[in-house]
Amino acid sequence: MKTAVDGRHSKVDRFSDSLRWLYATQVTGIKLGLDNMRRLLAALDFDETPGRFPPVFLHVAGTNGKGSVCALLDALCRAGGYRTGLYTSPHLVSFCERIRVDGTNIAEAGARDGIESLRDLTRDWEHPPTFFEFVTALALDHFRAERAEVIVWETGLGGRLDATNVVLPAVSVLTPVALDHQNYLGDSLGEIAAEKAGIIKPGVPVVSAPQAPEVEEIFRGMATAQGSKIEFITASWDRALGLVGDHQRHNAALALAAMRAAGLPPHESAIAPALRDVSWPGRFQVLEDGHLVLDGAHNPAAAERLAQTWREQFGSRQATVILALMRDKDADGVAAALAPLMARGFAVAARNPRAHSAESLCAIVARHASCEAMPSLAAALQRAREFPEPILIGGSLYLVGEALALLRGAEVPEPSWQ
């Protein structure tokens, strides 16, 4: 990757310019398929031969819980003494959160140089890569430069045709599957499960969360066809855990089983401290002495889990809910799941081109609970503080990221589609 400094701009300006160029590639939308990704890897001189860089991938797909499971895997890998790369999406506040080595974000200068090199490399391509393909290639190049030993590798969308599905992992990890992204993955659980199952590779062990019967059947069938052993987790982690909610205990057990299946189990004495101290912002993140909760539940299944976790933590106490959702999400299903815990709702528009307007979302929420459209998150939060109930901000990780920036007094993240 080039490191020359352009004297006409400061490094900060160049990073911002590079990021704007990268975000502009989103106008082509999401294009599922692996041809461009393989071409990018070839152009970057990656050798996919097993045993060459990177030595170990832990590939994670599913609908809900992928980010949490990746955070748990990252904690366990580092507890095992491995130099660990973590690739997740979307980011909350900083683009650089997507790519981490041993818990440290890629530096803005490194991201800038990588983006500029990828831009130059593909300038004349008739079919240029998508945003997510560019970022996936950037992650791989950074992990190679940093000599990461184990890569925790989260799919972006689906699995079979996702840009991440160009690697041979040590284990394929499947989190709970639910209805989401139907416009890309299919209208039924079975169709979506078939796409997620596309990360299962010949002879590679598979570890899955408990699934609906039709999803389990598809996963078992794919594993059998690929000659891969598959394990469905039934137990849960029963000791201290840094993530809140009973479902996170199942996620912890899934991550631990995946580490064992990959042949990477940490020493028993390292497991409990790693899971006790793990954190993953935006997933029932409790702030302000319990008065404020952030959670990016953006589909009905995730919203139901959020409501269950709320009851685990707050009992019958209700919440003032500030909500934003994308237009391609089941807003009615999310609102119905959250309605029992809502004392009142405030709808806002997330800073994303796909977001519901505050008015359109409020009209949907109002079918289930009282709702008021607000001009901004800041205005909604100010209004919510007038009431005694704890505040829940969520429905979209984009809104959660904006909330974190607002609460930290940081710059609000630039709009992002993916």
pLDDT at 417 exceeding the cut of 90: no
Mean pLDDT of 66-79: 97
pLDDT at 181 exceeding the cut of 70: no
CA-nearest of 65, 72, 307 to 209 is 65
Check if 11-277 and 285-408 are the same fold.
no
Distance CA 199, CA 195 (A): 8
184: confidence class by pLDDT, cuts 50, 70, 90? low
From 3.30.930.10, 3.40.190.10, 3.40.50.20, 3.40.1190.10, which CATH number describes the 11-277 domain?
3.40.1190.10
pLDDT at 226 exceeding the cut of 70: yes
Distance CA 324, CA 346 (A): 9
Three-state SS string across the chain, please? CCCCCCCCCCHHHHHHHHHHHHHHHHHHCCCCCCHHHHHHHHHCCCCCCCCCCCCEEEEEECCCCHHHHHHHHHHHHHHCCCCEEEECCCCCCCHHHHEEECCEECCHHHHHHHHHHHHHHCCCCCCCCCHHHHHHHHHHHHHHHCCCCEEEEECCCCCCCCCCCCCCCCEEEECCCCCCCHHHHCCCHHHHHHHHHHHCCCCCCEEECCCCHHHHHHHHHHHHHCCCCEEECCCCCCCCCCCCCHHHHHHHHHHHHHHHHCCCCCCHHHHHHHHHHCCCCCCCEEEHHHCEEEECCCCHHHHHHHHHHHHHHHCCCCEEEEECCECCCCHHHHHHHHHHHEEEEEECCCCCCCECCHHHHHHHHCCCCCEEECCCHHHHHHHHCCCCCCEEEECCHHHHHHHHHHHHCCCCCCCCCC
Contacts with 369 (C-beta within 8 Å, 6 or more apart), sequence order: 321, 335, 338, 339, 342, 344, 345
Report pLDDT for 48: 57
Distance CA 90, CA 95 (A): 8
pLDDT at 346 exceeding the cut of 50: yes
| % of the chain residues with pLDDT over 70 | 92
Pairing assessment for the beta strands 292-295 and 285-287 based on DSSP bridges: antiparallel
pTM of the model: 0.93
1: confidence class by pLDDT, cuts 50, 70, 90? very low
Task: Please state the domain extents for the chain.
Answer: 11-277, 285-408
Report pLDDT for 2: 43
CA-nearest of 98, 136, 115, 94 to 414 is 94
Q: Which residues of 162-183 are buried (b: 16+ CB within 10 A; e: fewer)?
A: bbbbbbebbbbbbbbbbbbbee
Report pLDDT for 352: 86
Looking at mean pLDDT, say which of 30-44, 82-96, 180-194 comes out highest. Answer: 82-96
What number does CATH give the domain 285-408? 3.90.190.20
Report pLDDT for 33: 78
49: confidence class by pLDDT, cuts 50, 70, 90? low
Mean pLDDT of 147-169: 94
The string of pLDDT tens digits covering residues 2-37 is 444 444 445 668 899 999 999 988 776 566 779 999
Tell me which amino acid residue 73 is: L
In this predicted structure, which of 42-46, 135-139, 231-235 has the lowest mean pLDDT? 42-46
Distance CA 296, CA 92 (A): 10
324: confidence class by pLDDT, cuts 50, 70, 90? very high
Report pLDDT for 99: 98
Average per-residue pLDDT for the chain: 91
